[in-house]
Amino acid sequence: MEAPLLNKKSRSEGGEGDELGLSRRVWDESKKLWRIVGPAIFSRVVTYSMNVITQAFAGHLGDLELASISIANTVVVGFNFGLMLGMASALETLCGQAFGAKKYHMLGVYMQRSFIVLFLCAVALLPIYFFATPILELTGQPPELAAMAGKVTLWLIPLHFSFAFLFPIQRFLQCQLKNSINAYVSFLALIVHIFVSWLFVSKLKFGLIGTAATLNFSWWVAALCLYAYVTLGGCPLTWKGFSFEAFSGLLEFLRLSAASGVMLCLENWYYRILVLMAGKLKDATIAVDALSVCMGINGWHLMIPLAFFAGSGVRVANELGAGNGKGARFATIVAVMSSAVIGLVFFVVVMILHDKLAYIFTNSSQVIHAVDKLAALLAFSILLNSVQPVLSGVAVGSGWQAIVAYVNIGTYYLIGIPLGIFLGWYFKLGVMGIWSGMISGTAIQTVILTYLTIRCDWDKEALNASTRLEKFGNVK
C-alpha cells in the first residue's frame, strides 16, 4: 500500500537513476494536481469576475448604488459566503478520502449530508439579512448607505441559499477529479450573467434591484446545471440517488463542517479587517483607495493559491484514503513547490512594476504614490499567500480543520491584528504599519503550518483516514 519515494531500480543505481525516478514522480504528481488546479483557477477567476461585472453595472447607476452593492456583497454576503464555503470544505476531507478508499457510494451520501447541514445553516443566518441595515449602521456606515445596502441585501437571499447546494456539488465533483465540469458550468454562468446584467439593468431599467437579481439568477443557473449533471448520469459510481443514510451521523458531520467553516472564515475576514482599520486613519480616503488597489491585485492572484488549496486538499485526501501516507507527503511537497514558484514569479513582477501597478485602477497621483509605497508589502503578501493556502489545503485533506482554526485565532487575531494596530497608531506608520503587523500574523501562521506538516506522521494519518471513514458511517 505504500508508494516509495523512488523505485527500487533508482535506489540501487543512484546518480542519474535517482534523478530520473524523482523527475518521473514529480511529473506524474503534477499532472494529477493540475487536473484539479487548472479548472479550479478558471472557475475562481470567473466567479470573481461575476462580482466585478455586477459592481461595474451598479457603478453606472451612481456612486451610492456602487457603494451599496459593494457593502452588501463584502460585509453581509461575504461573511456568509466564507462560512458556508468553509463548511462545504468538510467534503474535501470525507469525499476525498472515500474516493481514495474506493468507497464511491459514500460520496453521494456525504454530499446529501452537506446539503442538509448547509441548508440549516443558511436558515440560521437569515437574521443577518433581515437586520442588515442596523448591523451596518453599528459598523459606522452612513445611514443612507446602510439603508440602501440593507435593501439590496434582502434581494440577495436567493443567492445565499444557492451556496447550500452549489458548494457541496462543486466539492463532490472536485474530489472525484471531475473539476472540468465545474469550469464549463462556471463559464456558462458567466455568459448568462453578462447577458442578464445587460437585460435587467441596461435594457429593462430594473436599477439596483436588477443588479442583485442578476447574481441570484447566475448562481442558481450554475447550481442547477451541476445538479442536473450529477443526477442525470454524470456520476454513475458516486451518485446512487437520495438515501435516508444521509440523515445519520449528522452531528459528527456538523462538527467537522463547523470546524472547516470557522477555519476558512477566520482567514476570509482577516484582510477585510485591514480595510476597515485603514478607514479609521488620518487621510483615510487615500489610504483606503491605495489599499483597495492592492487588495484588488492580491485578490486576482489569490485565485491561483486557492485553486492549489483545493488541489492539495483533494490529492492528500485521495492518497490518505487509499492508505498511501508517503504518497500524501509527496503530493504535499509538489503542491507547495508548484504554488511557491508561481508566487515567486508574481513577486518579481510586482517588484519590477511597483510604480506602475495603480495605473490599471486610477489616474490619481496621490493614490499611485501610495500604492508605490505599499508595493513591497503587496509582493511579500503574494509570496506568503502562495504557500499558506496550500498548507491549509493539506490540513483540510488530512482532517486537521479544528487544529488550524485554533492556529488562525492565535496568529491572526491575537498577534497579527494587535501588532498591526500597535504599528499603525502607536508608531504612526499608518496603513503600512497595519499591513506589516497583519503580514507578521500570516507569516507566523505559515511557519506553524509548515512545522505541523513536516512533523506529520503520514502513515499514521493514513490509518486515521480509515478510522474517520468508519466513524462517519462508511459502508463496505
Q: Does residue 443 fall inside a structural domain?
A: yes
Contact 315, 309 (CB under 8 A): no
Predicted local distance difference test score (pLDDT) of residue 426: 85
Determine the Cα–Cα distance for residues 134 and 258; give it in Å rounded to an integer. Answer: 27
Structure confidence at residue 333 as a pLDDT band (50, 70, 90): very high
Domain boundary pick from 248, 282, 308: 248
- pLDDT tens digits, 171-208: 999 999 898 999 999 999 999 999 999 999 888 888 88
One domain for residues 241 and 318: no
One domain for residues 46 and 96: yes
Asked if pLDDT for residue 2 goes beyond 60, the answer is no
Q: Does residue 313 fall inside a structural domain?
A: yes
Rounded mean pLDDT of 236-262?
88
One domain for residues 230 and 280: no
* Three-state secondary structure call for residue 199: helix
Query: What are the helix (H) ranges across 139-178?
Result: 143-155, 157-175
Q: Does residue 135 fall inside a structural domain?
A: yes
One domain for residues 228 and 280: no
One domain for residues 285 and 225: no
Give the chain's count of helices (H) and strands (E). 21, 0
Predicted local distance difference test score (pLDDT) of residue 19: 60
Number of domains in the chain: 2
One domain for residues 64 and 213: yes
Report the interhelical angle of 388-398 vs 284-321 (nearest 10°).
40
82 compared with 197, residue with greater pLDDT: 197
Q: b/e per residue, 311-331, with b = 16+ CB within 10 A?
A: bbbbbbbbbbbbbbbbbbbbb
Phi-psi region of 325 (alpha: psi -120 to 50; beta: other; left: phi over 0): alpha
- pLDDT tens digits, 442-454: 999 999 999 999 9
| Cα distances (angstroms) measured from residue 296 to each of 40, 74, 242, 288 | 19, 13, 41, 12
237 compared with 299, residue with greater pLDDT: 237
Determine the Cα–Cα distance for residues 190 and 201; give it in Å rounded to an integer. Answer: 16
One domain for residues 310 and 282: yes
- pLDDT tens digits, 122-158: 999 999 999 999 988 887 777 888 899 899 999 999 9
Asked if pLDDT for residue 384 goes beyond 60, the answer is yes
| Among 390, 392, 408, residue whose Cα is nearest residue 400 | 392
Contact 181, 102 (CB under 8 A): no
Predicted local distance difference test score (pLDDT) of residue 267: 78
* Three-state secondary structure call for residue 189: helix
Structure confidence at residue 276 as a pLDDT band (50, 70, 90): low
pTM for this predicted structure: 0.83
Q: Does residue 15 fall inside a structural domain?
A: no
Which percentage of the chain shows pLDDT scores above 90? Answer: 49
One domain for residues 311 and 198: no
Rounded mean pLDDT of 73-78?
76
Structure confidence at residue 306 as a pLDDT band (50, 70, 90): confident
Domain hosting residue 213, numbered range = 39-248
One domain for residues 378 and 438: yes
Structure confidence at residue 410 as a pLDDT band (50, 70, 90): very high
| DSSP letter (8 states) at residue 39 | H
One domain for residues 226 and 322: no
- pLDDT tens digits, 14-65: 445 556 588 899 999 999 999 999 998 998 888 878 877 887 788 778 767 8
Rounded mean pLDDT of 410-430?
90
| Among 304, 287, 272, 293, residue whose Cα is nearest residue 77 | 272
| Among 291, 311, 456, 290, residue whose Cα is nearest residue 393 | 311
Q: Does residue 236 fall inside a structural domain?
A: yes
Rounded mean pLDDT of 234-243?
92
- Report CA 475 to chain centroid distance, whole Å: 31
